[in-house]
Amino acid sequence: ILAFSSDLRLLFANRAAVKLLNLGTRIHDSIPLIELIRQPKILQLVQDVQSRRQSLDCEFDSTDASEQNVTLRIRAYCISPENKPVAKRSVPSRLKNHSAEPKDAPAAAVLLVISDETRVKQLENYRKDFTANVSHELKTPLSAIKAYSETLLMGALDDPDARYRFVTSIGEQANKLEQLIRGVMQLSRLQSMPDKLPLSPLRLADLISSVIKELRTVADANQITIDDQIGSSSQLPDPMVLGDFDSLRTILGNLLSNAIRYSKPGGTVILRAIPNGNRLEILVIDQGIGIPASDIDRIFERFYTVDKARSREAGGTGLGLAIVKHLTNAIGGTIGVESQLGVGTTFRLSLWCPSTQP
Ligand code: ATP
Ligand code: MG
């Protein structure tokens, strides 16, 4: 909150205003508005409030005292003797007595209420991006379904070979749509779940075997061997982790499914557990196509895929690792990746051990 007298000198500023507008050392009692505030938009707003004698607002981007970019919304109230203050209760008492102007042309005092809208703006942009991404991803399989069905209606229905191929393709595209929608729904469920999940001690071997069971058919179809080395070390015969069973199953399932999907036929995927202080690191190692260094920082973003064509062909939507990242945070874990193009990729999931509950 900032309050200015009718001759536009500072009457009052609270700490939040000083920080948000980065007023720093400039500020002192009765400093003229023009010396205190550098943003032309605010100066214009105050001028408009005084000339039009009505409350107005504006929004602008700025940098706060800690050099952070912020989006600020400013509501400027016109406080004149004949014009009852709009927000009566929030007017400082010093201001209320400030009505010494001549009766014919009383200038108005001005009260600025500044709110930090940065987070709201970020969420708004996030929502816009998300909607744009989802619509874009939905469009491709839908266009294909439309094209196939139009071709069938235009005569291909009478050609037994063609109609079989087209109907198969319609089925495949519908599967992609279903997978995409499932991913989006899972992400939206995650967003409404608490930031931190309750954790319990879990046997890693149980988790791994349930994940492998689910992906065995895909691995066989791609001629990939899964080498499960978890529990094979005499030092660590039955590793335990702290987590949430369903979340960890989703995390490990996504990592293993990627390792299979982005491997060449005949390759091996290794699962390994390594103790690291009070944490356990789970490694998913593949000998697949690898990830280019220029993409590696982005693979955890929603809808990000290195090779759109290859990922789509393999049925990918680019949501898997975004879900992995979200769930890993929720169980107090961390995830890292190392990769070499053409050689292979290792995902390293680090979890708390039960004896050292955070
Ligand atoms: P889905 O939503 O079905 O998981 P996806 O596999 O394309 O689709 P992510 O799991 O988020 O999406 O992975 C993002 C991208 O990171 C992939 O498209 C791929 O390019 C790359 N990637 C992920 N894991 C590996 C891996 N083990 N080897 C090589 N590239 C990988
Ligand atoms: Mg994936």
pLDDT digits (tens, 9 = 90+) for 4-58: 999 999 999 999 999 999 888 788 889 999 999 988 999 999 999 999 999 999 9
Q: What residues flank ion ligand 2 with Cβ within 5 A? A: 258, 320
Alpha-carbon dihedral angle through residues 162, 141, 297, 289, given to the nearest 10 degrees: -10
Measuring from atom 29 of ligand 1, which residue has the nearest CA?
Answer: 290
- Residues 127-140, mean pLDDT to the nearest whole number: 87
How does DSSP assign 185-199, residue by residue?
HHHHHHHTS-SS---
Helix, strand, or coil (residue 228):
strand
Residue 242, H or E segment: strand 240-243
Kindly list the distances between the CA atom of residue 113 and the CA atoms of 8, 20, 91, 343, in Å, as whole numbers in the listed order.
Answer: 15, 11, 10, 58
Give the pLDDT confidence of 241-280 residue by residue, as tens digits.
999 999 999 999 999 999 999 999 999 999 999 999 999 9
Q: Is 263 in the pocket of ligand 1 (CB under 6 A)?
A: no
- With left for phi above 0 and alpha for psi between -120 and 50, is residue 87 left, alpha or beta? beta
Confidence of residue 95 (pLDDT cuts 50, 70, 90): low
pLDDT score of 314: 66
- Residues 180-184, mean pLDDT to the nearest whole number: 89
| Of residues 347, 340, 323, 322, the one with CA closest to residue 271 | 347
Measuring from atom 8 of ligand 1, which residue has the nearest CA?
Answer: 316
Confidence of residue 133 (pLDDT cuts 50, 70, 90): confident
- Test site for ligand 1: of 321, 324, 326, most ligand atoms within 8 A of the Cβ: 321
Distance CA 22, CA 173 (A): 54
Q: Is 304 in the pocket of ligand 1 (CB under 6 A)?
A: yes
Helix, strand, or coil (residue 186):
helix
pLDDT score of 268: 97
CA of 317 to the centre of ligand 1 (A): 8
Confidence of residue 223 (pLDDT cuts 50, 70, 90): very high
**Which atom of ligand 1 sits closest to the CA of residue 347?**
27
pTM: 0.70
CA of 311 to the centre of ligand 1 (A): 7
- Residues 99-104, mean pLDDT to the nearest whole number: 47
> Is pLDDT of 316 > 80?
no
Q: What share of the chain has pLDDT > 70, as a percent?
A: 90
Distance CA 48, CA 216 (A): 70
Contact status, residue 265 vs residue 219, Cβ threshold 8 Å? no
**Which atom of ligand 1 sits closest to the CA of residue 323?**
11
CA of 308 to the centre of ligand 1 (A): 10
Q: Which of 179-183, 212-216, 346-350 has the least mean pLDDT?
A: 179-183
Question: Which residues, at least 6 apart from 205, have a Cβ–Cβ distance to it below 8 Å?
Answer: 230, 231, 238, 239
Q: Is 243 in the pocket of ligand 1 (CB under 6 A)?
A: no
CA of 261 to the centre of ligand 2 (A): 8
Helix, strand, or coil (residue 190):
helix
> Is pLDDT of 234 > 90?
no
Helix, strand, or coil (residue 76):
strand
pLDDT score of 352: 95
Measuring from atom 10 of ligand 1, which residue has the nearest CA?
Answer: 320
Question: Which residues, at least 6 apart from 179, have a Cβ–Cβ distance to it below 8 Å?
Answer: 315, 317
Confidence of residue 336 (pLDDT cuts 50, 70, 90): very high
CA of 318 to the centre of ligand 1 (A): 6
CA of 304 to the centre of ligand 1 (A): 8
CA of 260 to the centre of ligand 2 (A): 10
Mean pLDDT, the chain, whole residue set? 88
CB atoms within 10 A of CB 116: 16
Contact status, residue 354 vs residue 240, Cβ threshold 8 Å? yes
> Is pLDDT of 103 > 70?
no
Structure tokens at 62: 């700025």
Residue predicted with more confidence, 17 or 315: 17
Distance CA 122, CA 295 (A): 24
Measuring from atom 15 of ligand 1, which residue has the nearest CA?
Answer: 305
Contact status, residue 20 vs residue 44, Cβ threshold 8 Å? no
Distance CA 165, CA 182 (A): 26
Structure tokens at 1: 């909150």
Structure tokens at 230: 């978890």
- Residues 288-305, mean pLDDT to the nearest whole number: 93
Residue with tokens 């409030």: 49
Question: Which residues, at least 6 apart from 4, have a Cβ–Cβ distance to it below 8 Å?
Answer: 10, 11, 33, 46, 109, 110, 111, 112
Distance CA 345, CA 285 (A): 6
